[in-house]
Amino acid sequence: MLKRFLSYYRPQMGLFVADTVCALVLAAIDLAFPIILRNLTGGLFTQGHAAIMQALGMIAVGLVLMYVIRCACRYFVSYWGHVMGARMESKMREDLFDQYERFSFAYFDRNSSGDMMSRVVNDLFDICEAAHHVPEWIIICGIEIIGSFVILFTIAPVLALAMAAVTAAFSVIMFWQNMRMREVFSDNRKKISGINAQLQDSLAGMRVVKSFANEETERSKFRASNNRYLSSKENMYHAMGVYTATYGLLSGVLYVIVVLLGGWLVAQGQLQAVDMATFALYISLFCTPLETLVNSAETYQKAIAGFKRMDEVLSTAPDIQDKPGATDLQVTAGAVDYHDVCFNYEDVELGEGDAEERPVIDHMNLSIKPGQTIALVGPSGGGKSTTCSLLPRFYDVAAGSISIDGQDVRDVTQQSLRRAIGLVQQDVYLFDGTIGENIAYGKPGATAEEIAEAARRANIDTFIESLPQGYDTVVGERGSRLSGGQKQRVAIARVFLKNPKILILDEATSALDNESEEAVQESLEELARGRTTIIIAHRLSTIKHADEIATVEHGRVVERGTHEELLARGGTYARYYRMQFEGARAHELD
């Protein structure tokens, strides 16, 4: 973990060295002032008026120059030090985002988006505050503490050793308290993730909340999460309060030692009064950096807790990766073959250590000819959507193989595989941008003419052109300003622009009314023309004209044929068909 953290300093080494030099200069200047004052008090100010006035001019120039340099160093540390931290934070954020993009769907099934966002935003802020400040504080405060002690030791060894003994004893106590703080800060990070996840879930589902008039239920859930966070913060502040109070006690004890022991040494003639005054000045210089280091414990502990969570993500190997020597997929015809495929989901709800697996795909065999349209039907949980998710390697098969034109999907690069497959789902996700930008997502860099042609083929061009801002109309978060049918056709236009060889339609019309479904169905039929197409349908009326229909139950294909052939057989498909068209509830089907 330390090696990874230090690697982020490497690109900023020039700034780090300059920042360190400025910190050293700051510490040296702070150490020099009490010595200068001691020499003036014990030396120059005991001489005559003329000598004092003659020397004061040069001393004034020297002091002004010294503090001009100090101000310049302080500016550099404050500005460029923060810039260094911001650049490190930016690189860490990119690394985290890149790592999230490498993970398969299984990772996102197991982890909440609120927790992932907390790692990218809250944790990284704390990490980079420490990345900038802690080294600077250690350098400045370390030099001031050590330098002060060395100077004090040269003035009065007995008094300096007494201070060192007390400081050492308190340091042991504060180290133990620091370990306790690490625990409570780590717990606080988890509680922040929890409240972020709860808030995001409630806000994303606000339409459902209001439709069920369940605002009070959500308030109760949020209060519970918020109270857990509050309790965690109270524990954190308690640990910090004990820590800072211990420092305050140390500072007070040191001043008492100087007054009592120093006064006794003066009375014994072993210490001059001016040296005792210098001691008092250095006590302040000794204690102030100690206080800074004590206060930095909060920043440090937050950073440690945050970086552990970041390192946890970066150290997690993506479960789906391109194998060494993977080649680009070459789609010549578009034949798809599932051979003895098995797949299981991990039941993560049981908790860590109690995970079980439930079979979803059980030795499935399914061959699809080039350009053929095949529809998958069957009960909910039968494995239809999972079958389609395995083709672009959103998940990896546990056994068996899936191939496209004879190429195992595990032997080709994920990028080339997914470029060859277009997906239109029931739950369309549109980004919070313009209609044109959302269509262009299918082909980054597409021209305005290509975007307009894709919209025309998806039968949404007339609607878009009727809008005051046309293709520059902002769709809102998740496409909230468009109807369900309009969002579906934007998604279809996006796939038209992508122009894949293989198409997956996963219940693309099941959530639409009849009028919208008819318009979208025309677009889908145009989209499927000339492509190998897999359809998952809720309404059997939409798949009657598929080249073949396969009934999937318990992760296996139990029957297959044309609509007419399956009806004639009187099997599972025929039963579903009768149920649907005799008025049975539609939710019996997936």
Residue 490 has pLDDT above 50, yes or no: yes
Instruction: Say yes or no to pLDDT of 363 above 70.
Output: yes
Position of tokens 């101000």? Answer: 71
Task: Tell me whether domains 329-349+356-420+502-511+528-590 and 426-499 share a fold.
Answer: yes
Which segment of 49-63, 75-89, 437-451, 524-538 scores lowest on mean pLDDT? Answer: 49-63
**Can you tell me the distance from the alpha carbon of 590 to that of 586, in angstroms, rounded to the nearest whole number?**
9
Residue 354 is classified by DSSP as: -
Cβ(114)–Cβ(202) under 8 Å? Answer: no
Give the amino acid at 368.
Answer: I
Chain centroid to CA 420: how far? 29
At 196-249, the pLDDT tens digits run 777 777 776 776 676 566 778 888 888 888 888 888 888 888 888 888 788 778
Say which residue, 81 or 279, is predicted with more confidence.
Answer: 81
Q: Which DSSP symbol is given to 434? A: B
The answer to whether the CB of 409 falls within 8 A of the CB of 402 is yes
pLDDT surpassing 90 at residue 372:
yes
pLDDT recorded at residue 146: 85
Decide if pLDDT at 54 tops 80.
Answer: no
Residue 57, pLDDT > 50, answer: yes
Instruction: Quickly state the pLDDT bin for 583 (edges 50, 70, 90).
Output: low
Ranges of each domain in the chain: 2-314, 329-349+356-420+502-511+528-590, 426-499
In single-letter form, the type of residue at position 176 comes to W
The yes-or-no verdict on residue 590 having pLDDT over 60 is no
CA distance 412 to 326: 5
User: In sequence order, which ranges of 358-513 are alpha helices (DSSP H)?
Assistant: 384-390, 414-419, 435-440, 448-457, 461-466, 484-498
Mean pLDDT to the nearest integer, 356-381:
86
CB of 561 within 8 A of CB of 569? yes
DSSP string spanning 305-322? HHHHHHHHHHTSPPSS-P
pLDDT at 142: 83
Give percent of the chain above pLDDT 90. Answer: 20
> CA-CA distance, 236 to 190, in Å (whole number)?
13
| Predicted pLDDT of residue 109 | 82
**pLDDT at residue 51, rounded to an integer:** 64
Q: What homologous superfamily does CATH list for 329-349+356-420+502-511+528-590?
A: P-loop containing nucleotide triphosphate hydrolases (3.40.50.300)
**How much is the pLDDT for 346?**
64
Distance CA 462, CA 466 (A): 6
pTM, 2 dp: 0.71
pLDDT at position 119, please? 85
Give pLDDT tens digits for 310-336: 898 999 888 889 999 999 999 999 999
Phi and psi angles of residue 50, each rounded to the nearest 5 degrees, phi first: -65, -45
Site of tokens 């305005």: 448
Longest CA–CA span in the chain (Å) reads 123
Alpha helices in 344-427 (DSSP H): 384-390, 414-419
Residue 589 has pLDDT above 60, yes or no: no
Give the Cα separation of 68 and 48 in Å (integer).
30
Tell me the torsion sign for CA atoms 43, 44, 50, 51: positive
Give the integer Cα–Cα distance in Å for 74 and 30: 12
Element (H, E) at 425: strand 421-425
**DSSP three-state, residue 474:** strand
How far apart (Å, rounded) are the C-alpha atoms in residues 22 and 533? 66
For 395-409, write each residue's pLDDT tens digit: 999 999 999 999 999
Describe the crossing of helices 124-155 and 13-42 by its angle, rounded to 10 degrees.
30
User: What are the structure tokens assigned to 269, written together?
Assistant: 């003639």
**Which pLDDT value is given to residue 232?**
87
Q: For the domain 426-499, what is the CATH code? A: 3.40.50.300
Pick the CATH number of 2-314 from 3.90.1300.10, 3.40.50.2300, 1.20.1560.10, 3.90.1200.10: 1.20.1560.10
What is the band of 545 on the pLDDT scale with cuts at 50, 70, 90?
confident
Mean pLDDT throughout 251-269? Answer: 83
